Structure 1
Amino acid sequence: MKRRPRIYFSFRSPYSWLTVHRLRTAAPQVCAELEWIPYFDPDHTTSAMLDDRDATFHYVQMSRAKHRYILMDTKRLAGTLGIPMAWPIDRDPWWDLPHLAWLLARRLGRADPFYDELTAARWGRGENICDPEVVRAAAARAGVDPELAAHAPDDPEIRAEGVAGLVTAYEDDIFGVPYLKLGPHRFWGYDRLDAFLRVWQESAGRVDPAREGKEIR
């Protein structure tokens, strides 16, 4: 059986945030078909579990110069899309927390609203989504039990699910996000979304979203 097309996303990445925004706005039918896999810097516990699976984390930390460029580029892109943005300051981030909390929300059928609340907190208000209190507040607004969300990393099944996603990323040679994969086709980055959508449409003779009045912008 063929695997569903996959999207690797991260709450850390502004390009992931903007790509998902474009995807959900212009082609929501695609979103329903995708396998969504969170991609995040692992903490010591997750790293040890990855070692046990003979998997590593391909992502390489960026330089300060690249970080400054991404800040300017993201603000430009957000402005083009008409999205207000507040750049967050990450101090000692614990990325397992928001991503594992999202996996919990998905189990509870609240993946989309919790995603929206976390991205609104991070990119709309510049809040630290690695802070348990911020996660609790986002969970409450999304209809998720705040304590379950804040303690998602303590749930062995949720932790194992997060590790499984990172193992899949390792096997798929994922080195950054957003990253879309459809069969042998791979698309990395914000500016590859249109190419992915063309391949997705061609793969089964689907209708171009632009023909339905939904221009990809």
Structure 2
Amino acid sequence: MSAPALRWYFDFVSPFSYLQWRKLRELSHERPVALVPIVFGAVLSAHAHKGPAEIPGKREFTYRHVLWQARREGARLRFPPAHPFNPLAALRLCVAAGSTPAAVDAIFDWIWSQGQAGDSVEALSPVAAALDVPADAVASEAVKNALRANTEAALLAGVFGVPTLCIGPHMFWGNDAHDFALDALQHPELLEDPEMQRLKQLPIGVQRRG
């Protein structure tokens, strides 16, 4: 049996994506991982969700939680000047650079390790120069269409948040699910456990009204 394909959906606006990338970067040395930048805001809109940074109280908790996770993992994390920010320029730069590990690494490092702005082509110009990507490439219709296609494909796959690591048809959402994903990758039978299977058909006991 061939190994399942790995796909990772992410957005540079997400600090949790940054933390998981640091782990996936090591995994990608052992087996290929398709890196798929998507527009998190479009995913939220498709599911009629609010992002954690859009909910008072939850915003501050989320920021403290991710900083705590980073320190616990030994990762340098410094928030950019403002958050949430518009990540389209960063996402398009990534696509224009081929969504390579080097491009993903450079953009995440600029925004979440160095704490620099990533909300415009101008702010990201040092990263674009290092990646040898001209500004007009970032703004091209081909790049915009490719990012839109990535996001639509993510929605078709059932993605509801970032980061999401897909192992074949199975989705693992969030940096804190990374160990779960690795366990399932090493032990595929884990997801065939009877109780895991029963959860697919678990009845809904009550539904909240609009």
- Is TM (by shorter chain) over 0.5? yes
Corresponding residue to 1:121 among 110, 122, 140: 110
1:61 aligns with 51
Cα deviation code 1:166-186 (max 9, x no counterpart): 111111221211111123322
SS in structure 1 of the partner of residue 36 of structure 2: strand
**What is the CA-CA distance between 1:3 and the residue it aligns to?**
7.8
What is the rounded CA distance, in whole Å, between the counterparts of 2:152 and 2:175 in structure 1?
23
**Could you tell me whether the CA contact under 8 Å between 2:86 and 2:119 is conserved in 1?**
yes
**Could you tell me whether the CA contact under 8 Å between 2:38 and 2:148 is conserved in 1?**
no
What is the rounded CA distance, in whole Å, between the counterparts of 2:84 and 2:162 in structure 1?
21
Spell out the pairing of 1:126-137 with structure 2 (5 A cutoff).
126-137=115-126
What is the rounded CA distance, in whole Å, between the counterparts of 2:163 and 2:22 in structure 1?
12
Corresponding residue to 2:71 among 65, 68, 79: 79
TM-score by length of 1: 0.74
Cα deviation code 1:9-44 (max 9, x no counterpart): 11111111101102223x2335x52222112246xx
Corresponding residue to 1:170 among 155, 174, 191: 155
**What is the CA-CA distance between 1:156 and the residue it aligns to?**
1.5
**Could you tell me whether the CA contact under 8 Å between 2:40 and 2:161 is conserved in 1?**
no
1:39 aligns with 38
The count of corresponding residues between Structure 1 and Structure 2 is 184
1:138 aligns with 127
**What is the CA-CA distance between 1:74 and the residue it aligns to?**
1.1
- The aligned amino acid for 1:163 is R
**What is the CA-CA distance between 1:76 and the residue it aligns to?**
0.9
What is the rounded CA distance, in whole Å, between the counterparts of 2:166 and 2:83 in structure 1?
32
**Could you tell me whether the CA contact under 8 Å between 2:8 and 2:35 is conserved in 1?**
yes
Q: Greater CA deviation, 72-81 or 124-133?
A: 124-133
1:7 aligns with 8
**Could you tell me whether the CA contact under 8 Å between 2:40 and 2:162 is conserved in 1?**
no
What is the rounded CA distance, in whole Å, between the counterparts of 1:91 and 1:68 in structure 2?
11
For structure 2, list consecutive stretches of 5 or more residues without a partner in the other structure. Answer: 189-210
2:179 aligns with 194
For structure 1, list consecutive stretches of 5 or more residues without a partner in the other structure. Answer: 51-55, 204-217
What is the rounded CA distance, in whole Å, between the counterparts of 1:189 and 1:78 in structure 2?
14
- The aligned amino acid for 1:173 is G
What is the rounded CA distance, in whole Å, between the counterparts of 1:80 and 1:33 in structure 2?
27
The reply to whether residue 97 of structure 1 matches residue 89 of structure 2 is yes
**Could you tell me whether the CA contact under 8 Å between 2:19 and 2:75 is conserved in 1?**
no
